[in-house]
Amino acid sequence: MAVVHVKLGPGKLAPHGKKMVAHAMFHKGTHFVAASVLLKDKGGFHDVVLHLLAQGLEVVQKVLLLARDYDKYRPRLRKPLGHDLVLGADALHQAYRLKPMKKEVRSELQALSDHYREHLLRYGGIHDIFGRASLELKVDHVFRRTVALTLLGRRVFK
């Protein structure tokens, strides 16, 4: 079987190409969220459940921004947004003119974002030996908001 390697140079995507990229990202993000839900329901390792939720939420946030204005948000995905779920949520709320987050949602999101951004959910470290603060994280509100975002995404990508 032949393998073809293609190296793409700097180019610009046509509008349809931008939509295809965003659509593919949306599927990845929703599957990270779905995997998180499945693991949570099956009693999976809490840190992995949280990491998959955060990763899925990050991707869904970013893809919805791309769907709103690809050229405006594409350069902002790595910096300033990066892995900061709160910055992503704020950008999304502004782009779609969504209602402000409730205090308890923002609090949960901030705690999850802090752990996710510092890679405490993915890599092992001294925090695993002396107590995992992630066990204290409550994310019920974030789970519900993330599911709502995936539903918004389904409407966007109809």
Q: Is residue 7 part of a domain?
A: no
Q: Is residue 12 part of a domain?
A: no
The CA R_g of the chain, rounded to the nearest whole Å, is 17
**Among 102, 2, 120, 21, CA closest to 67:** 21
DSSP summary character for residue 84: -
The whole-number pLDDT of residue 121 equals 72
Q: What are φ and ψ of residue 9, in 5° steps?
A: -85, 180
Q: Is residue 9 part of a domain?
A: no
List alpha helices for the chain, DSSP H. 15-41, 46-73, 85-96, 103-117, 126-129, 140-156
Q: Is residue 2 part of a domain?
A: no
Write out the chain's pLDDT in tens, 158 residues: 788 776 766 778 898 999 999 999 999 999 999 999 999 999 988 889 999 999 999 999 999 999 999 999 999 999 999 999 999 999 999 999 999 999 999 999 999 999 899 877 777 776 666 666 666 788 999 999 999 899 889 998 88
Q: Is residue 52 part of a domain?
A: yes
Residue 84's domain spans which residues? 17-156
68/120 Cα distance (integer angstroms): 31
15/76 Cα distance (integer angstroms): 18
Q: Is residue 89 part of a domain?
A: yes
The whole-number pLDDT of residue 131 equals 62
Q: Is residue 126 part of a domain?
A: yes
The whole-number pLDDT of residue 74 equals 94
Q: For position 106, which CATH number holds?
A: 1.20.120
Q: Is residue 90 part of a domain?
A: yes
74/104 Cα distance (integer angstroms): 30
- Please give the tally of structural domains in the chain: 1
